[in-house]
Every structure is written in C-alpha cells, then in structure tokens.
Structure 1
Amino acid sequence: MIRILFFVLLVLCLALGFAWLADRPGELSLIWQGQLIEMSLLRAASLLISVFAAVLIAVWLLRTIWSSPHTVTRYFRARKRDRGYQALSTGLIAAGAGDANLARKMTARTRSLISSDQEPLIHLLEAQTSLIEGKYDDARKKFELMADDPETRELGLRGLYLEAKRLGANEAARHYAERAAEKAPHLPWATLATLDHRSQARQWDEAIRLLDQSRAANVLERKEADRKKAVLLTARAMEQLEADPKSARDDARAALKLDDSLVPAALVAAKALFREDNLRKGASILEKMWKLDPHPEIARLYVRARGGDSALDRLKRAKRLETLRGNNAVSLATVAEAALEARELALARTKAEAAARIDPRESIFLLLADIEEADTGDEGRIRYWMSQALRSPRDPAWTADGVTSPSWLPVSPVTGRLDAFEWKAPPARLPAATEEGYLNPDAAIRSLPPVATVPRPATEPETESAVDAAPPAERVEAEPEKAITVPDPNETVAPPAGDPNRKEPVPAVASPAKGKDSEEAPDPFFGRPPDDPGVREPASTEQNTGNFRLF
C-alpha cells in the first residue's frame, strides 16, 4: 500500500513539473564539439528523464543477470525447506496420533530436507517417535541433546523429567525439575514439581520462597498460590507447635488470612493460643471456623479446650456449638457425646437420634450403642445399634489418593502431591447395597420401644444366655455343626446338683405357648428375636445328656 502511494505521488510530481514547464516556454541551446543543438525546454526535460529511466532499467537488468544463479539456488532451497517443514509438521501430527510408521517415515524425509542444526524440532520428532516405538533409551538420549542446547533446554528437561517419573526415579525427576525452575522460573510444571519435592522433604522455608517467586512471575493464579502458601504455612506451624507455639500461632494466623476455610490452620492456631493460656482468642477462632464448616475436630478441640473442666462444663460448651450451628448432625452428635459423659442419658439419646435422622452414619449409631449400654445395658439393643452401624455409610475422614489418615497431612504419602488431603467419606468397605438394603434411620429408631419398656435387670446372672430365651429353631440354627439331642417332650431334666445357676425345670423342646399368658407376654424389642443369639452357656450344652442322638 505504501509503495502504491509513493508511485502515485511520483507520477503526480512529474505531471506538475511538466505542466509548470509548459506554462513557461523557452529555448535551450547547446554547442558541443562545434555543433549547435537547439531545442525547447520541455523537450530537453523529457529527454533527460528518459535517459535517466533507461539507465535505471539497464542497471536492473545487469543486476538481475548477475544474481540469477543465487536467485535460482535460493528458490530451490526455499522449496526444499518448505517440503521439509511440511514433512516435519506431518511427522509431529503422526507422532501425536501414535502412528509410529508414518512418524518414522516423516522423520527420515525431514532429515533429508532440513538440517537438524537449523531446525531443533527434528530432535523432538525423533524423540517422540522413539517413545511411541518403545525405544526409551533413544528418546532419553535425544532429550539430553535438547537439554544441552540453549534453544531447546526447557523442552529437553521436561522430557527427561517425564521419563524419570515414568521409571520411578524420583531423585532424578527432582533434579531435572529444579534445574528447569532455576533456568526458567516461569515454567508452571517445573515450579509445581519442585514445590512438591521440597514439601516431601519438609523443606517448608525453601518451598515458601519458591512459591513467592512463582507468584511474582505470575506462574500460578492468585487463588491457587494463596491456597498452597496457606498449606505450607500450616505445615510449618504444625512442626513448630511443640517447640515454638508463638511462631506456630503466627504462621497459622497468616494461613487463615490467605484461606479462611482451611480447618487445620484454625486447629493449629487455637492449640497454640491454648498453650499460651489465651482461651478466649482460641475459642473465637474455633467458633468462627465452626460457623463456616462444622468439623468434628473443631468440636472436639473446642469442648476440651480446658483440661480441668468437668463433664458438665464440656456439655455447656457443646451446647454453645449447637447454638452457633443448629440443626446439624455434627453439632447434635457433639452434644450427645458430652451428655453421655455427663451421664445425662435422656438428652444424649434425644440428640443422637436427631443426628441419626439428619445424617445416618457409622459413628452416630455406635454412639447410640454406647448410650444404650450406659442406659439399659440390654445386649440385644446394643447389638441392634451396632448392626445399624455396619449398614450405615462410613464417616468422613482425611482422604488422599485412596488412603485415609487419622489427622490432616500437607503432602500425600502416595504421590507426594501438596494439599492432597480432603475431608470426605473414604472408599466403601463393602459393595454397594441394594435400595432395600440401605438404612432408614427413622425406621431404625421407631423399631425400638421406649427405653422404659426394657428395664435394666437388677442383677444379671453371669451364665444366663440369650440362647435359652430363643425358640428351638433358633437354637438349632445357632450351632448346626454340633450334635443335637432331642429329648422326650414329656420329660423334664433338672440341672446337676450343686449347680449355682439352677433353674426351674422346663420342657426341653416346647412350642411357644399360644394361650392367654402368651398374649400378655411382651414381644421382642424389634419385633423378632435378635439376629445374634449370643454365646451358649457350657451348662446348657451339658443338659439332656441322657437323651438319644438324632445323628
């Protein structure tokens, strides 16, 4: 476009010049070698411009003829280079698609058309071709050549890093990642890999310094960088909690400023403040985190903030958490546990059942079993709650890469990834149940009559067994492998003389009575005999020794 404008301006100037000369006619006389040459001024200007143009055309022709060999050579060289780049592009696409034959063919064609010194991507094509062919040693050699070239250093180091990770050579992978991060700190993969390796080695100060450098270089997004730094600060605070509570408190508070939803940071900050006898600030941090995320570990630390508190004091603190976050399963379960410790069993049962209706989980039904043991001591009811716990979902735990940990960890023990642990339900222990097999908490709670209908016996004989109360069919199913004796229905057998557990003689095999007395007898507490009949007493197996054997 600029050339066209320049040409138009030149023509316009020439036209203006000729018009100016035409308006001012004149004669031009020239004596050269005794000859007089006369012509008009306009004609002389036209001849001068024509001679100048002819000279320029002659120079262009001579220059073109002189440089024609180089021009022809450059043309064929460019054509060859274009063909080589086309083959290189086709080879890279074939390598990405996994077509080893086409990639190797394009590699050979590219080698014949382009020099590897001029185009480093040929090394990449050869390395990728070797990888998809399974020639990992050749690929590693190519990556090493690329790592020595300043133009392809980062690409070669990444290839070496991935190969080291594939072979499980974590130390070599760490070396390549640190080398890449040193030469090119703007590479996200190098920064994150080095950060994970330093976190695995518990080098928290170096990891935080590297993270600050990556944040300055805009390698990571601000939110992701803040989260990772909060995790690193929390990890350093956990290590300093025993030796230096003040530094641990400062690091934990700094982590909460970066990410106010990080529960481990709030726990460490509260523990550090409790060690400094600053109960009010520590409880304030836990209450603030409790409003955001009612976590069981927060409740446990909050309720037991002071070691000298009584059970009633802990119950008051648990009720305080319930007021902050009402209608929550964790809040209700916390109050139920505290009430059980304070021996307020009615409150404990009410809160535990409410928690089971909101979120039926294993720990809540185990808590109901503990309450049942403390309140009634009825073994059947306790086994019933424990069976409900087996059918209910597992409680959330700190889980990372398929493994669980009793406490939060900054790094995954499986992959070494930073900030891998999440508070979620661990993998199921049993295959998924059918829809009919899932637990219905309301039905489970309603299936039990009021506690008053099953009074706790004043004295419980040590040898009394639940099998004695079960029908004969239940006894036979309880121990099918032993020899079964069938006595005479009209015969009664008394225990041996001197037996401390002597009972009234009863028919050995008798059908359940269906008279007036049987209608007044209460049914079992969940409508049928217990699934687990208990342990048979040795004395009961020794009865009826004089009867004939069925088998």
Structure 2
Amino acid sequence: MIRILAFLAVVFALAAGASWIADRPGAVAFDWLGYHVETSMTVALVALLVFVVVVLVVWSILVALWRSPRRLRHYFVRSRRERGRNALSRGLVAVGAGDLRLARRYMTEARRAVPHDPATRLLEAQTAQLAGDRAGARAAFEAMLEREETRLLGLRGLFVEATREGAAEAAHSYAERAAREAPALPWAASALFEQAAAARQFDRAIELLSRNAGARLVEKPRARRLKAVLLTARALELEAGDPELARAMALEAHSLAPDLEPAAAVAGRLLTRNGEVRKATKVVEATWKRSPHPELAETYAAIRPGDSARDRLKRMRALAALSPRHVEGELAVAHAAIEAREFETARGLLRTVLETRPSQRACLLMADLEEAEFGAGGRMREWLGRAVNAPRDPVWTADGYVSEHWGPISPVTGRLDAFEWKVPVEALDAPSAPVVDEALFGPPPAPPAPAALVPAAAASASPAVATGPVPPAAAVAPGTPPDVPRPRPASESATASPSEAEPFSLSHPPDDPGPDFDEDDLTTTSAAKVAARS
C-alpha cells in the first residue's frame, strides 16, 4: 500500500512539473564546437534528464566491473560457508542419530569448507567420541583451548572425558579452570561442589553451595536441603569431639530441613547430653510428625536417662499419638511395652501390625516377647523362622546399596543426599510364607507332666512268667563267653520276684530330659535369632 501511494505521488509530481513547464514556454540556445543549437525548454529538460540517466547507467557498469573480482570472491566464500554449515548441521544430526559413517563424511566436508569454525571442532570431537577414539576427542577439545570463544567448550569436553576415565584430579583441574574463566558457569560450579562433597570436605562444600545459591545456580529449596545434609554430616563427625559445635550445626540443619530424620536424631542426642530435655523433645516431635523413624523413637525414649521402663512406655505412647496408626509408632510402643513387661499390650500391638503390615522387625519383636514372657522355647524359634521369610523393613538405601545407618553421600556414585528410607528391592523369586498364625498369639501349651516312677516292689503283683526249658537258640555255643549281666529293661522289671526288686536309681538323669534345652539347643537358638535379625 505504501509503495502504491509513493508511486502515485511521484507520478503526480512529474505531471505537475510538466504542466508547470508547459504553462511557461521558453527557448534554450547555445553554441558549442561551431554548432548553434536552439530548442524549447521542454526538450532541453528531457534531454538533460536522459543524459543524467545515461551517465548513471554507465557509472554503475563501471563500478560493477571494478568490484566484480571482490564480489566473485565473496560469492565463492559464501558458497563454501553455506556448504560447510550444511555439512555441520547434517554431521551433528548424524552424531545424534549414532550414524558414524555419515558423521565422518560430513566432518570431512566441514573441515574442508569451514576449518576454523568452532562447530567444526565440536563435530570432530563428537565424531571421535562416537567412534570410541578417546585420544582423538581429547585432541579436538585441547585444540579448542587455543581460541577464546571455544575455550569453555574445550574445558567442558576435557572434564567429561576425565570423568569417564576416572581421573578425578584432572576433572577437578578442568572444572576449577573453567570456574576461574566464568564464575557463573553452572556445570563448573556444580562439579566443584560435588567433588568437595564426595571427598567429604563438608566445610568447603557448604561454602561452594552458598556461592552457587547466591549466583542462582541452585534453587532455594534444593540449596536448603543440601546444606542441611552437609551440616548433619559435619555434626555426626563432631558429635564425639566437639559436641557444642555439632549441636549448633545439627540445630541449623533441623531448621533448614525439619523432615531430615538424621538431623533431628543427632540434635536430640546432643541436646539430651546437654540437659536440654524440653528442646530435644520439641525437635524430635517436630520431625516425627513429618516422617516417623525408629531412630527418632530410640532417641525420644532416651531423652530422660533415669526414667523407668513404664515411664518410657508412657512417653512412647505420647510420641506415637502424634502420628496415629503409623507402623513405626506401634512398633516403638510395643518395644517399650516389652521392656516394661506389659506383655498383653505388646502382643495386641504386634498382632495388629502383623495382620496389616507384616515385617521382619515385627516378627523379631514377637520373638523377644515370647522370650521375655515364657523364656526361650519353641514359640520364640517359630517367630525367628517366620522373620526370615517375612517382608523386609525399610532401610537406608542409596543406588542399590543398603546400609544400617544414614550417610550424606552414596558409596556407589558419590552423589549427595542419595540415601532414602525405603524398603529395598525384593527378589522376584523370594519365598513367601504366611506370617500370622492364630495359634501363635495364644498362650503356649502346658508342658506334659512327668511320668510317675513306679517302685519295683509294686511290680511283684504282676503274674510270674512261666518257666520252661531253654530254647535251643538260647544255648551257648562252644567258645562263646558267658553272658555279662546287664540292666533289665522296664518290661522285664515286672517279672522280677519280690526278692530281686530294687528301687529305681536317680543317680543318673533319664535318657529324655523333656522340654528343657541342652547347651547345643541353646547355641542353635541363639544363632538362629542372630541370623534372623541380620
């Protein structure tokens, strides 16, 4: 629309000018080279306009001829660059698709067309990585260090290669150099932080984490969680040597992450040691409401060291009430009830747990209950056997590694905050057996009464055995020694005459001592219990 209006405006201006000249006629005359030229004003103006146009056209042609070599050179450069960029894009796509043959082909084209392009170096390095040529990849990345615009890319590639080869010191050196070049570079800052945490340099890791959080390289919730983990790890290290500093770190960790159970547990222990019972109670209760944990229950039970078993049971009931119907609370109360010898309470709680969420720990507590109430017996061994096949309890796991205690970093990958409280992966062919048996919750059967010892004199009332001739089989063969007198079996004692009857001797125990255990049985029972607990 604008072009049309501009064209109409030009046409209107020309028409107006022509009309103005036509209304004012005149003549133009000049002498040049012996010629006298005389014409009208209109013709003179048109001739002048044509002359200007011809001059401009000739000038343009001359300028084009003058600039043609440079323009031709620029054309070939643009064409080669276009081919190079096309080869680079196709080569990167081939690398992403895993086509090594095409990647090498386009890499060669790009190297011929645009040898100094940064993307060409990147394509060379990625093609070498795809081919498994570690030396070639390192050479390509090292070549990038020579140019400022590709230096950070080269450091990144060298860091990745060093990490893959397990060269921790070299990787740390590349990350540190990149951080000096660009302090806000995310991968370098993250690498330095992870390396400090994996090396258990927790103070250094906390400093780097604060710097990264200030540069907004880490989100605030994640930074708070990681700092709490690092402070908890440091508090665990200082718990025995510097309890004051450890207590301050544990409390700060608890304030940053109230749901972090190890932070609350170590803070509760240190506060209890310092006599701050009320504060320790609040810390443990705050975390228990968010995530009940057996270590928290153990810490809560020991807040008042001088309390009796019944006082601990009362306290555990109050703690369990903060998270009603949670299995950890029920197990904690059951354990305290066993210690307080309130066996019916413990039995009822454990029965509820075993009927709804059976686990090895519940079966082991039932074994402890049977042992505490009735002593080591068959019922205790039965629960130990059921614990072996019962579903597993939650444990601290990190990258498939199972640990009895929490840790700040994974021993497998070195990742920070990797441990989780969860049930480990069960084997697909794990044996399954019913855990709950109604007969096991009732009182144990009474042991059988021992058989009465009948005096030998009472056996004289039995009818005498008829005597007769000795069978031939009973005759003594020649050369056979005479029979050695031996004790008579119980069946023969009834045939003894009153004069031969003797009272039963109690100087030696009977062959079957009954339900009591000997040392081997007790050793076997203890070994089975230890194996089930492990």
TM-score, normalising length from structure 1? 0.76
The one-letter amino acid paired with 1:418 is L
The one-letter amino acid paired with 1:238 is L
Deviation sequence 1:26-73 (CA, Å, 0-9, x none):
245555448675634x66655554444433333222111211222222
CA distance in 1, matches of 2:391, 2:376: 25
Q: What is the deviation of 1:100?
A: 2.5
> Would you say the 8 A contact 1:376–1:456 is kept in 2?
no
> Would you say the 8 A contact 2:396–2:405 is kept in 1?
yes
Match of 1:422 in 2: 420
Deviation sequence 1:477-527 (CA, Å, 0-9, x none):
xxxxxxxxxxxxx98699x96653226999xxxxxxxxxxxxxxxxx9xxx
1:9–1:114 CA distance, 2 compared to 1 (3 A): same
1:298–1:219 CA distance, 2 compared to 1 (3 A): same
Match of 1:448 in 2: 440
Match of 1:12 in 2: 9
Deviation sequence 1:325-369 (CA, Å, 0-9, x none):
221211111011111111222222222222222321111101100
1:324–1:12 CA distance, 2 compared to 1 (3 A): same
> Would you say the 8 A contact 2:347–2:441 is kept in 1?
no
The one-letter amino acid paired with 2:316 is A
Matched, 1:22 2:14: no
Unmatched tracts of structure 1, length 5 or more: 460-489, 507-523, 525-531, 538-551
CA distance in 2, matches of 1:221, 1:497: 86
> Would you say the 8 A contact 2:361–2:387 is kept in 1?
yes
1:439–1:147 CA distance, 2 compared to 1 (3 A): farther
Q: What is the deviation of 1:397?
A: 1.4
Q: What is the deviation of 1:263?
A: 1.8
> Would you say the 8 A contact 1:361–1:393 is kept in 2?
yes
The one-letter amino acid paired with 2:415 is R
Deviation sequence 1:279-302 (CA, Å, 0-9, x none):
112211211211111111111111
Deviation sequence 1:411-446 (CA, Å, 0-9, x none):
112211111111112344x6533xxx53444xx241
CA distance in 2, matches of 1:368, 1:390: 13
Match of 1:79 in 2: 79
Deviation sequence 1:67-86 (CA, Å, 0-9, x none):
12222222222222222222
Match of 1:58 in 2: 58
Match of 2:40 in 1: 39
CA distance in 2, matches of 1:505, 1:342: 33
What pairs with 1:232-271 in structure 2 (closer than 5 Å)? Answer: 232-271=230-269
What pairs with 1:126-205 in structure 2 (closer than 5 Å)? Answer: 126-205=124-203
CA distance in 2, matches of 1:198, 1:63: 66
Residue 124 of structure 1, aligned match among 122, 125, 143: 122
What pairs with 1:369-384 in structure 2 (closer than 5 Å)? Answer: 369-377=367-375, 379-384=377-382
Q: Point out the more displaced range, 218-227 or 166-175.
A: 218-227
Q: What is the deviation of 1:197?
A: 0.8
1:431–1:535 CA distance, 2 compared to 1 (3 A): farther
CA distance in 1, matches of 2:146, 2:490: 100
1:105–1:275 CA distance, 2 compared to 1 (3 A): same
1:272–1:449 CA distance, 2 compared to 1 (3 A): closer
TM-score, normalising length from structure 2? 0.78
Match of 1:502 in 2: 510
Residue 438 of structure 1, aligned match among 432, 435, 453: 432
Match of 1:282 in 2: 280
1:533–1:246 CA distance, 2 compared to 1 (3 A): closer
The one-letter amino acid paired with 1:446 is E
1:184–1:23 CA distance, 2 compared to 1 (3 A): same
1:172–1:293 CA distance, 2 compared to 1 (3 A): same
The alignment-based identity, stated in percent, is 40
> Would you say the 8 A contact 2:122–2:140 is kept in 1?
yes
Match of 2:305 in 1: 307
1:12–1:309 CA distance, 2 compared to 1 (3 A): same
CA distance in 2, matches of 1:265, 1:378: 38
CA distance in 2, matches of 1:313, 1:142: 71
> Would you say the 8 A contact 2:320–2:333 is kept in 1?
yes
> Would you say the 8 A contact 1:28–1:44 is kept in 2?
no
CA distance in 1, matches of 2:405, 2:282: 22
Matched, 1:91 2:91: yes
Q: What is the deviation of 1:376?
A: 1.3
CA distance in 1, matches of 2:5, 2:512: 131
1:269–1:182 CA distance, 2 compared to 1 (3 A): farther
> Would you say the 8 A contact 1:164–1:170 is kept in 2?
yes
Q: What is the deviation of 1:106?
A: 2.4
> Would you say the 8 A contact 1:492–1:505 is kept in 2?
no
CA distance in 2, matches of 1:126, 1:536: 72
SS in 1 for 2:19: helix
> Would you say the 8 A contact 1:328–1:358 is kept in 2?
no
Q: What is the deviation of 1:533?
A: 13
Unmatched tracts of structure 2, length 5 or more: 451-488, 494-503, 523-534
> Would you say the 8 A contact 1:329–1:358 is kept in 2?
no
1:449–1:211 CA distance, 2 compared to 1 (3 A): closer
> Would you say the 8 A contact 2:30–2:37 is kept in 1?
yes
CA distance in 2, matches of 1:343, 1:74: 97
Match of 1:390 in 2: 388
1:347–1:106 CA distance, 2 compared to 1 (3 A): same
CA distance in 1, matches of 2:408, 2:521: 51
Q: What is the deviation of 1:410?
A: 1.0
1:29–1:254 CA distance, 2 compared to 1 (3 A): farther
CA distance in 2, matches of 1:395, 1:105: 57
1:378–1:243 CA distance, 2 compared to 1 (3 A): closer
Match of 2:400 in 1: 402
Q: What's the C-alpha RMSD, in Å, of the aligned pairs?
A: 3.5
CA distance in 2, matches of 1:266, 1:114: 61
Q: What is the deviation of 1:377?
A: 2.0
CA distance in 2, matches of 1:263, 1:535: 42
1:148–1:413 CA distance, 2 compared to 1 (3 A): farther
The one-letter amino acid paired with 2:62 is L
CA distance in 2, matches of 1:236, 1:351: 38
Deviation sequence 1:146-199 (CA, Å, 0-9, x none):
234322222222222222222222222222222223323444333322211101
SS in 2 for 1:151: helix
1:378–1:210 CA distance, 2 compared to 1 (3 A): closer
CA distance in 2, matches of 1:198, 1:110: 40
1:378–1:265 CA distance, 2 compared to 1 (3 A): closer
